[in-house]
Amino acid sequence: MAKAKKNAERENRIAEEIIVDAYSPEEQAMGWYYYLEDKLCFPFLATCIAERATSPLRKGDEVGQQQRQYPG
């Protein structure tokens, strides 16, 4: 799969909304965690867009996610 070109507007939104005031990789990860927790609605259906050797999914397979799975 080809890598998407950087989109300046998207990169700015990430910096301003998601990882604002995050100075370490751990803080950036938590920024993403809370952003996605707020934006994702459950249940949802996802479609595999690329095959990977480490995944049992094939391109076009659909997978449903019923609930949040918290780490730990």
pLDDT in tens, the chain (72 residues): 577 788 888 888 888 888 888 899 999 999 989 888 888 887 888 899 999 999 999 999 999 876 666 555
Q: How far is CA 27 from the centre of its chain?
A: 16
Residues 6+ apart with CB under 8 A from 40: 68
Give me the pLDDT at residue 5, please: 83
Where do we find the tokens 């990860």?
A: 29
Cα 42 from Cα 29, distance rounded (Å):
21
Give me the pLDDT at residue 71, please: 59
Q: Residue 8 in contact with residue 16, Cβ under 8 Å?
A: no
Q: State the burial class of residue 35 (Cβ atoms within 10 Å of its Cβ: 0-12, 13-18, 19+).
A: middle
